[in-house]
Structure 1
């Protein structure tokens, strides 16, 4: 009892110190402003109206007082106790101006200005003839301003009239009058009136009125018609320019694909001197490309305007976005020029500045992981953004990587990888059927080809060939689809050492790593995310489906269990269904903190021609982006104990079922330094019993086999990259006895041996999710 009492007395003493210290730094005559109160007379308002009005009015008042916590102002305290620094950097400057906060004084508050804000804001919500006054309450050099607000009854809309005349633009406005945001019986609200003007403007922009502006609409309010009622009249301003009332259609469409930005200041002259009359249009598009750098089909697929179309803002923006999305042009500009020979018609000019078509990049990477490997990687990448003159993107890369075993079981089990990747992406769907998209993102057809040679010294060497053909398209900025119509992987060993063969004799599952594998079939993934939007709650979801030889196995009658395993070119092909789902949730707590959570569920079913899943297609957990309290690929399956392994090297533990959950609290400490507290949980399991992995099969006791780890980390955000360090410990280990899997009672930070086995440090680039 004595210890909690001491803590309470210490907190009270600190609170008293902070509270008193802040005011002693004030100069003579200065008063600390501690906030405002709205004293609202509620006689004419409902409880809901009053609460909403009071909350909104308080948000309008300026300035805001110093931040407080439990009645204390620690940021102001740090400002006050820190002397003025001599230069704008260093610890003292950081403490005073980054951690600390300058005092907000009563002299900083313009009370009359705030009163006017209260009156104007109230009137904008239909509370006309508001009366206001104010009082100040001062105690111990702290002052609060109390605003007394007396609103009258809120005005409601009695009638909405759209003024009629015989003009073309008025007839267009009348078409959407019935869907007005201004509703009879609703409160008068200036924000709704502004939204109505924007609605009318958007509709007119979609119907040829290029020069129209929301300010051309006026909504007149007549409050004399009835008691607390108002009539609204929507009409065009008399001062509306004549051009704003004209409806434009598209005449000529001109593309200049090699536009030089140095001509930017002379754009009008460049446009006017463009010799389009001597050109032969391609599907109605005039193209000035003297060097023939681009195929004209590009513009037919990306430009949505056609000759004779009514101007609309959707096609205007869509065309620009798709030209940018090609990735071939560095700058995209357009101009609508009124035709000299035709009234109410535009000639549209697209001025495109290309990117450099070819680029070469050399990347080097140093890395380490929690599985006791350290090494590096070198990548040599070449890119061409207009490979076949149709904005195709061709990429070629050569790479080499080395991972040296620096600890753990065994010695010298190093890994060497050498490979190449080639891909070609066409900015269209190449298929026997017609594919149309109204998205701002250009759909793509992708062809990929790759090869990798992998050598694990003292164990084996593998050759891995892969190829793919498929499509990538986006519905909008939030939804993306990727369909590989065919994805082929062929793996075969070149050499298997006697040492590895000895281990295979004791552990037959090792043979599946080096056996020949032929995997072919379609894959599909769908991604939804709104994390790029400024929302408090955001989500990310990615679902994947991987099918191998499903039709082939069905047609050929493949059945491993009945001894009818089929082969192609002497290799038994893999037949399976695999799906994985990754769901993430982000909650913005405030400007400097966030809660993030992720759940992953994966399921793979080998059948027909396969008894087991291919090793490369199984699931793994552990490591810097997974369950961080366990080293990469060392956890599972199920309650299998990896310490029972007799092999002299660290085996990769894989499974057919995967469940994983991660949660993090992220907070910015200052500037580029962020911190996190996290918990990770999950495991992998097998679909079938494996005598060499007892406890590995998925069962109704799977929850008791979930591993849990907790930890903390620092993230150094250098803008160009985020360097992450996470330190974690296992608090639930599935391979211990069932009643002893929670490890809280076994935590011994003072024990060197315990720290070596249980403190896991992960160093990585970027956030784990």
Structure 2
């Protein structure tokens, strides 16, 4: 067999590294380096969860040996080198970053490990199992080989509750009908513990305030026959207190809406609403409104679920710094089981002013500083209402814009929000959501925008809607009234020329009044970083112009206008699905699929410009510049200000995958691939090739790259560098491929796209 010189070089390199990283010479004379242990598991009968059982026993083989990389103890070697009397800077650095303390055989106790294995087997029903071990010493190294003979397991024959005279006994007997401890299951100590905890949880739900799982004992009788069967008996401990086995009822409910140590007792007054006492001096919160947030009822059994939800609802009002629900046992509780519930509410400061200086990075690649001045008034009408007044000044400039120039923006804005922590409707509605409080939000705002000398835009908006969390993962928001009045007050000759060249674009700016309804739904399981499989599903539905069109058809008047302005008429929807596979705490594969479409109809031939989709940029297909894709296979003759407005569409499809991993400290890395494009619903002569067709899949752009992120938990600065792999506006047989001429300056300028953004892309 012919051996190539390259293979000889690799062999020699590995040999030199192994010799260089040898740790034998550093091991003390009276020690052996522990190299690990093996486990041989034997059983005369098949074991259903054999792999899990073996893995559990292997977890008892302590300590863990030092790690090896390519057969070498690199971490241990760096420790030894860095521990010398004069190690030098490099060795100290390597020890600090990669060093591992040596694990010697003197730290290993095979006899104790054997006892632990036998005990663990007994806990799993394998009584009378046998464990042994052999030590293998080889030079300066030592290892252990464990052998375990697993006995035939004990299986459950029958289970019974020792008594049935008290109410709690009857409840336990009823709960045991749903137990996982069925005839034929193997003895398992952890399952017995879980069963006690289940009974405790269920009993607390029906009022057993003082119950504790430690009051219960499972006794096993293994001497009933020779078939290795056992009977289980569930009973109470002899020292179980009587207060632990009686149900509790809520007697008095006292609420302190303005709790503080400085409140004067002689000025405190009590108002009773629906059996609840509201105790306060000056009325801080109207008792009739506050009562709606409290789910506890006088005379009902104690419920930990209602207690938790009541605290959540009171906290979600947004007016209280602390919410403290305490239960006090009455003197007769030993026999009757009565509780008083006291709810202490500590308000936040009523008024606050906050100044925010922000660095803003938008999805359209505009970035710059923004100054927000926010005034907040809490509990405005003594019903938990919050009023926010926000004044904004922002300057933005388009970064990574390639040949685009002059695209900057100055924004001035003023917005007022009034939030009611309840449903406000023209008919009285008592909300039924136990998890959280639905909120009503009313907003009025105006904004002035000067876009790079091209045009000035004045926007007036009004919204009325509701939002709430149905549970920990589900969020809803609906705005039955959503109004936007857009006035293009001044345009430059340059922008007029852009509009003249694209009638569709002109019409999208002319549609100046948007009135409709929108709904948002989010299902989010991404926030838990310890969850292996995280998923997010978000969808938005936006309908505009239908109500106005219906009113016009009834009342008459000029079609397609309202108060003298053309109004937009369209339907728009999108779906955003994200899936995270967390390989471990620090490594994640994140994916996203996005689909959105808008359909103009009636008196509209195109979507309003602010409602159109675009592709490319830091939160989209990162290998293409902002608005650098589409629609379809359209490619502008030159990249200028006109193309910035042209490259948008009514349909957007996109897919992304990203592998995220740590680099150093707060610096994270990523490898990613993106695909997507936008299309038009209707044909536009100014944008040939832009219409959505059945051949859409052949018009997708694909790009890939790598990124670096400074992630300090609550703030992420992101840098991504990407290059195209598939370009949809090239001829069909030339769309795939890239020459990757990294040495060429012109290639780098055209094919390496740098993206800067705040936050993760998805």
Within 2, Cα distance between the matches of 1:649 and 1:375? 22
| CA pair 476-67 structure 1, distance change in 2 beyond 3 A | farther
Unaligned runs of 5+ in 2: none
Q: Indicate the residue corresponding to 1:299 in structure 2.
A: 290
Are 2:125 and 2:186, in contact at CA under 8 Å, matched by a contact in 1?
yes
| CA pair 632-387 structure 1, distance change in 2 beyond 3 A | farther
Question: For 1:549, which of 522, 545, 552 is the aligned residue?
Answer: 545
Within 1, Cα distance between the matches of 2:405 and 2:478? 43
Deviation at 1:92, TM superposition (A): 6.4
TM-score, structure 2 length as denominator?
0.92
Q: Indicate the residue corresponding to 1:267 in structure 2.
A: none
1:499-514 superposed matches below 5 A: 499-514=494-509
Q: Indicate the residue corresponding to 2:750 in structure 1.
A: 757
Matched, 1:129 2:128: yes
Deviations 1:698-729 (A, max 9, x none): 11222222111111111112234122111111
| CA pair 7-400 structure 1, distance change in 2 beyond 3 A | farther
Q: Indicate the residue corresponding to 1:107 in structure 2.
A: 106
Within 1, Cα distance between the matches of 2:265 and 2:202? 33
Within 1, Cα distance between the matches of 2:584 and 2:76? 19
Deviations 1:201-253 (A, max 9, x none): 11211122111100001111110112211100111111101210222101111
1:526 is paired with a residue of what secondary structure? strand
After the TM superposition, which of the residue ranges 521-530 and 638-647 deviates more from structure 2?
Answer: 638-647
Deviation at 1:385, TM superposition (A): 3.1
Are 2:254 and 2:276, in contact at CA under 8 Å, matched by a contact in 1?
yes
Deviations 1:268-325 (A, max 9, x none): xx9xx98999733122222222132222234312221111011111112111222222
After the TM superposition, which of the residue ranges 365-374 and 434-443 deviates more from structure 2?
Answer: 365-374
| CA pair 232-647 structure 1, distance change in 2 beyond 3 A | closer
Matched, 1:722 2:716: yes
Question: For 1:739, which of 733, 737, 740 is the aligned residue?
Answer: 733
Q: Indicate the residue corresponding to 2:347 in structure 1.
A: 354
2:270 is paired with a residue of what secondary structure? coil
Q: Indicate the residue corresponding to 1:315 in structure 2.
A: 306
Q: Number of matched residues?
A: 751
1:224 is paired with a residue of what secondary structure? coil
| CA pair 610-373 structure 1, distance change in 2 beyond 3 A | closer
Q: Indicate the residue corresponding to 1:539 in structure 2.
A: 535
Q: Indicate the residue corresponding to 1:476 in structure 2.
A: 471
2:618 is paired with a residue of what secondary structure? coil
Deviation at 1:582, TM superposition (A): 0.7
Q: Indicate the residue corresponding to 2:414 in structure 1.
A: 420
Q: Indicate the residue corresponding to 2:693 in structure 1.
A: 699
Question: For 2:705, which of 683, 704, 711 is the aligned residue?
Answer: 711
1:176 is paired with a residue of what secondary structure? helix
1:202-217 superposed matches below 5 A: 202-217=201-216
Q: Indicate the residue corresponding to 1:623 in structure 2.
A: 617
Within 2, Cα distance between the matches of 1:155 and 1:233? 15
Deviations 1:60-80 (A, max 9, x none): 333222334554444334434
Are 2:388 and 2:417, in contact at CA under 8 Å, matched by a contact in 1?
yes
After the TM superposition, which of the residue ranges 322-331 and 231-240 deviates more from structure 2?
Answer: 322-331
Q: Indicate the residue corresponding to 1:57 in structure 2.
A: 57
Matched, 1:284 2:275: yes
Question: For 2:326, which of 316, 335, 345 is the aligned residue?
Answer: 335
Are 1:461 and 1:496, in contact at CA under 8 Å, matched by a contact in 2?
yes
Deviations 1:172-229 (A, max 9, x none): 2222221122111111111211111111111211122111100001111110112211
2:224 is paired with a residue of what secondary structure? strand
| CA pair 482-647 structure 1, distance change in 2 beyond 3 A | closer
Within 2, Cα distance between the matches of 1:611 and 1:512? 8
1:511 is paired with a residue of what secondary structure? helix
Within 2, Cα distance between the matches of 1:643 and 1:86? 67
Deviation at 1:580, TM superposition (A): 0.6
Q: Indicate the residue corresponding to 2:633 in structure 1.
A: 639
Deviations 1:638-686 (A, max 9, x none): 1111344675674362111111111111111232121111111111111
Deviation at 1:528, TM superposition (A): 0.8
TM-score, structure 1 length as denominator?
0.91
After the TM superposition, which of the residue ranges 31-40 and 209-218 deviates more from structure 2?
Answer: 31-40
Within 2, Cα distance between the matches of 1:661 and 1:494? 38
Matched, 1:379 2:372: yes
Within 1, Cα distance between the matches of 2:324 and 2:363? 50
Within 2, Cα distance between the matches of 1:457 and 1:216? 74
Q: Indicate the residue corresponding to 2:493 in structure 1.
A: 498
Within 1, Cα distance between the matches of 2:430 and 2:72? 63
| CA pair 706-3 structure 1, distance change in 2 beyond 3 A | farther
Within 1, Cα distance between the matches of 2:527 and 2:366? 35
Deviations 1:323-365 (A, max 9, x none): 2222222222222112347742111111222222322221223
Deviation at 1:161, TM superposition (A): 0.3
Q: Indicate the residue corresponding to 2:157 in structure 1.
A: 158
1:6-405 superposed matches below 5 A: 8-9=10-11, 12-13=14-15, 16-17=18-19, 21-43=22-44, 45-46=45-46, 48-83=48-83, 95-226=94-225, 227-260=227-260, 279-340=270-331, 343-366=336-359, 375-404=368-397
Deviation at 1:438, TM superposition (A): 4.5
| CA pair 333-753 structure 1, distance change in 2 beyond 3 A | same
| CA pair 566-220 structure 1, distance change in 2 beyond 3 A | same
RMSD between superposed Cα atoms in Å: 2.9
Within 1, Cα distance between the matches of 2:279 and 2:65? 61
Deviation at 1:158, TM superposition (A): 0.4
Within 2, Cα distance between the matches of 1:418 and 1:569? 26
Within 2, Cα distance between the matches of 1:237 and 1:276? 50
Are 1:370 and 1:760, in contact at CA under 8 Å, matched by a contact in 2?
no
| CA pair 235-109 structure 1, distance change in 2 beyond 3 A | same
Unaligned runs of 5+ in 1: 264-269
Question: For 2:449, which of 435, 449, 454 is the aligned residue?
Answer: 454
Matched, 1:585 2:579: yes
1:703 is paired with a residue of what secondary structure? helix
Within 2, Cα distance between the matches of 1:659 and 1:162? 61
1:697 is paired with a residue of what secondary structure? coil
Are 1:484 and 1:524, in contact at CA under 8 Å, matched by a contact in 2?
yes
Within 1, Cα distance between the matches of 2:73 and 2:317? 53
Q: Indicate the residue corresponding to 1:266 in structure 2.
A: none
1:651 is paired with a residue of what secondary structure? helix
Within 2, Cα distance between the matches of 1:388 and 1:416? 36
2:465 is paired with a residue of what secondary structure? strand
Q: Indicate the residue corresponding to 1:519 in structure 2.
A: 514
Within 1, Cα distance between the matches of 2:365 and 2:163? 79
Are 1:33 and 1:143, in contact at CA under 8 Å, matched by a contact in 2?
yes
| CA pair 723-231 structure 1, distance change in 2 beyond 3 A | same
Within 1, Cα distance between the matches of 2:539 and 2:464? 19
Are 1:474 and 1:481, in contact at CA under 8 Å, matched by a contact in 2?
yes
Within 1, Cα distance between the matches of 2:221 and 2:433? 44
Are 2:512 and 2:565, in contact at CA under 8 Å, matched by a contact in 1?
yes
Are 1:458 and 1:499, in contact at CA under 8 Å, matched by a contact in 2?
no
Within 2, Cα distance between the matches of 1:565 and 1:32? 89
Within 2, Cα distance between the matches of 1:385 and 1:30? 69
Are 1:61 and 1:117, in contact at CA under 8 Å, matched by a contact in 2?
no
| CA pair 318-753 structure 1, distance change in 2 beyond 3 A | same
Are 1:85 and 1:93, in contact at CA under 8 Å, matched by a contact in 2?
no
Deviations 1:9-51 (A, max 9, x none): 2663366347x523333222322223222211221x3154433
Deviation at 1:733, TM superposition (A): 1.6
Within 2, Cα distance between the matches of 1:81 and 1:439? 62
